[in-house]
Amino acid sequence: MSAKPQEKAALEPETGAMPEKRAGAQAAGGSSLQGFSRPSVYHAAVVIFLEFFAWGLLTTPMLTVLHETFPQHTFLMNGLIQGVKGLLSFLSAPLIGALSDVWGRKPFLLCTVFFTCFPIPLMRISPWWYFAMISVSGVFSVTFSVIFAYVADVTQEHERSTAYGWVSATFAASLVSSPAIGAYLSANYGDNLVVLVATVVALLDICFILLAVPESFPEKMRPLSWGVQISWKQADPFASLKKVGKDSTVLLICITVFLSYLPEAGQYSSFFLYLRQVIGFGSVKIAAFIAMVGILSIVAQVSIILLMPFSLSLFFLTFLF
């Protein structure tokens, strides 16, 4: 789960190597339709919702297993696990993005969702393997990078801000109910059922990608040869940071987003654990808290989407007159 997916899109390295071709990908995609209907933002939204709904179900059981596995160093190990996962995601995101420009978005949607959700059943099999695989899964835990590239493929430039907003709102919607459902199932039927349901939801997401999600990046828009070499510049996670300094406006935006997101990321990684271990919140209160945050996030995203055209018009009127 990520607190602000839209901001991640701004911070992460470029996902594609051919942005100038994306605007026409939807119109050119007739030969690559494999799935239900034409590729759309709705496909991306469903993939995101199911993935994070599955992880949301595990909120309460994961806090319990984390404390039982590392009783003396719960907060330290939580930080290390999340830190390693985040670092690996940062390093791998540009390479996966560059490869998706060669082989298409769908294979890497499947790959990222599969490896992100792979640790779920390990929670009950072996907690040590569960937390180890969560850390290592960071190499492929870049679903949002591929999702935003998918959205860019199927939308025109003037539509993308709204489309990104809807995807982010869908992510928040997955937080509204899943922790509460997970807490209820855990209290009444045990953690084993919660893990089973989360695993089934993750498998449903994978099946949805396999059967229903059409490829958004048609073959005619890709390099002529699938054996085309990926340059280090495309895979370099620091390449985007170098480009940022060349534009003062983009640089200021990135600094603002970074300074805003840095403390929030630290808070997010340990806040639910803090509520449980320090304040003493029970499963119901934690689920209610997450639901409230999710509802407020949805309201904020939808409000910004609706107000954006009016705010831009007001800005230009003020500037002109």
Asked if 74 and 277 count as a contact pair (C-beta separation under 8 A), the reply is yes
pLDDT in the model for residue 201: 96
pLDDT in the model for residue 231: 63
pLDDT in the model for residue 50: 94
What is each CA distance from 228 to 17, 103, 223, in whole angstroms?
13, 10, 7
Burial 22-49 (b: 16+ CB within 10 A, else e): bbebbeebeebeebeeebbbebbbbbbb
Q: What is the mean pLDDT of residues 120-129?
A: 90
Q: What is the mean pLDDT of residues 204-233?
A: 73
Q: Which of 104, 94, 93 is nearest to 139 (CA)?
A: 93
The residue assigned the tokens 């999702």 is: 147
Phi then psi for 104, rounded to 5 degrees? Answer: 95, 165
Fold classified for 23-320: Growth Hormone; Chain: A; (1.20.1250)
Rounded to whole angstroms, the Cα distance separating 16 from 240 reads: 12
- One-letter amino acid at 203 equals L
Lowest mean pLDDT among 7-16, 66-75, 261-270: 7-16
Torsion sign over Cα 105, 107, 111, 113: positive
Q: What is the mean pLDDT of residues 280-306?
A: 78
Give the pTM.
Answer: 0.74
pLDDT in the model for residue 13: 43
The residue assigned the tokens 């085309």 is: 228
Lowest mean pLDDT among 17-21, 245-249, 271-275, 293-297: 17-21
Number of Cβ within a 10 Å radius of residue 225: 8
pLDDT in the model for residue 251: 83
- In the structure, what pLDDT confidence band is assigned to residue 200 with cuts at 50, 70 and 90? very high
Portion of the chain with pLDDT greater than 70, in percent: 77
- In the structure, what pLDDT confidence band is assigned to residue 310 with cuts at 50, 70 and 90? low
Q: Given a cut of 60, is residue 225 above it in pLDDT?
A: no
- In the structure, what pLDDT confidence band is assigned to residue 36 with cuts at 50, 70 and 90? low
Rounded to whole angstroms, the Cα distance separating 311 from 313 reads: 5
Per-residue model confidence as pLDDT tens digits over 102-111: 888 899 999 9
Q: What is the mean pLDDT of residues 269-280?
A: 76
